[in-house]
Amino acid sequence: MTMKKLIWMLSLILVGACTSGTPGGGQDATSDAGDVAVDEGNTEPDVVLDAGTDSGTNTIPDAAADVNDDPFAGVDLTPDPNCEGAYIIGTSGSVVGEDNEPIDEAFVQACLVSFDDGQYVCMAPKKTKQDGSFAFLMPDELRCLASVTMRILKPARAVITEYCDMDLTDPNVIVHWEDPFMLYDTYDPTEIPEEGDAEVERTVVLYDGVEIDMIPSKFFSGGAPYEELTSRRLPADAKVCAPKSAPVEFEGIYVFQPEADVFHTTFNTRLPNDYGLEAGDQVDLYVMGGLSCGLLNGDKVGEVEWAHYGVGTVEETGAFIEATGDNGLPCMVWLGLDIPTP
C-alpha cells in the first residue's frame, strides 16, 4: 500500500459518513481559519486529517473543528487588488435533513484551488452548530482562488454526502449559501450477504432494487465494512447541488453511502427499469468523483466532476438495465443515468 493510499484511507476513516459508530476525533482547531492539508505538486489531491489536537509542528489538521460564533468579526473585508482570481475570505450557510430540520455537528469541508499556482488544499471540516448553521474563514494565504468545492456530510448518520461547486462570480468576499444543503436519508439494502470470504463475489440488493455484484475486498471505503453500505435513488425533485456540474440532465440519480472506490475492477450492476424502456434500449451511465474515484482505464475523477463510464442495456425481460464488465460500476459515490435523445 502506498503512503498516499494510506493517508487517503486515514482521511476516510476520520471524515467518511458511515452508518454506524462515532465520528473520528473531534478536537477543536486552534486557529480561526482552521488547518489545511496541502497537495505538493502531485496529480492526486491530498485530503489529510488526524484526530488529535495540533501541536503546531505537524501539517495534518484536526478531524473537525467547531465553527466560531462570529468568525468574521474584526476581519478586514477589503479585496486584494492584486488577486486576478476570485478573492474569497469566508463562507457561511446551513445544513438540514430532507425533513428540513437542522443537522447539528454535520461536517462542512471546503477544498480550494489557488489561482496563483494551482495548489489544491482541503481545509479541516468544520462542524455545524445546533441550528445547522456554519461560518468560517479561508486560510489567510489561500484567498485568491480558482475554485472552491464544498463537501457536506454527517458521520454516524445514514444520509448522502453532498458536493457543490462555489459560484465564484459572486462579488462578495464572504459567500453565503442562501439555500441550505439538504442531506437526504439513505437506506439499508434489502439483501446483503455476510462478508465471509472477502474475495468472493456476491449480489447485494439495495433499497431501491438496484443489484450490484460486489467483491468486499475491492470495496475501498477507508475502513467502513461493506455491510454498512446504504443507498438511495434520489427523488426527481431532490434539492441537491452535485448534479448541477453534470454535462447532461439525469433521469435517475443514485447515491451510495459510505462513498467508496472500486479497486482495479468494476462491479456488475443491474438497475430496475423504471423508465419505460424496451429490451435492447441503452442508457448512458456517469459517476461523480468524491474523495477517491478511479475509472477502469486508470483516469481519476475529481470531486464534483462527472465522468461517462459506460452504457447500460435493458435485458431481454425488460426488468433491468444491465451494465457489466467494462460498463460496470467503477466507484460508488453518485451515479447518474441519462437516456439519450433518439
Q: Which residues of 174-187 are buried (b: 16+ CB within 10 A; e: fewer)?
A: bbebeebbbbbebe
Question: 257 exposed, middle or buried (CB, 10 Å; 0-12, 13-18, 19+)?
Answer: buried
Cα(259)–Cα(290) distance, integer angstroms: 7
pLDDT at 313: 99
Phi, psi of 181 (to 5 degrees): -75, 125
Of 13, 106, 25, the C-alpha closest to 62 is 25
pTM, full prediction: 0.82
Q: Per residue of the chain (342 residues), give pLDDT as tens.
A: 433 344 344 444 444 333 333 223 332 333 334 444 443 333 333 333 332 333 332 333 345 666 657 899 999 999 999 999 999 999 999 999 999 999 999 999 999 999 999 999 999 999 999 999 999 999 999 999 999 999 999 998 999 999 999 999 988 999 999 999 999 999 999 999 999 999 999 999 999 999 999 999 999 987 788 899 999 999 999 999 999 999 999 999 999 999 999 999 999 999 999 999 999 999 999 999 998 999 999 999 999 999 999 999 999 999 999 999 999 999 999 999 999 998
Of 12, 19, 14, the C-alpha closest to 157 is 19
The residue behind cell 450490484 is 212
Could you give the C-alpha distances from 88 to 105, 117, 122, 225, in angstroms and in order?
24, 16, 15, 38
pLDDT at 256: 97
Residues of the chain with CATH 2.60.40.1120: 3-183
Contact call for residues 291 and 275 (beta carbons, < 8 A) = no
pLDDT at 36: 46
- Which fold would CATH assign to domain 3-183? Immunoglobulin-like (2.60.40)
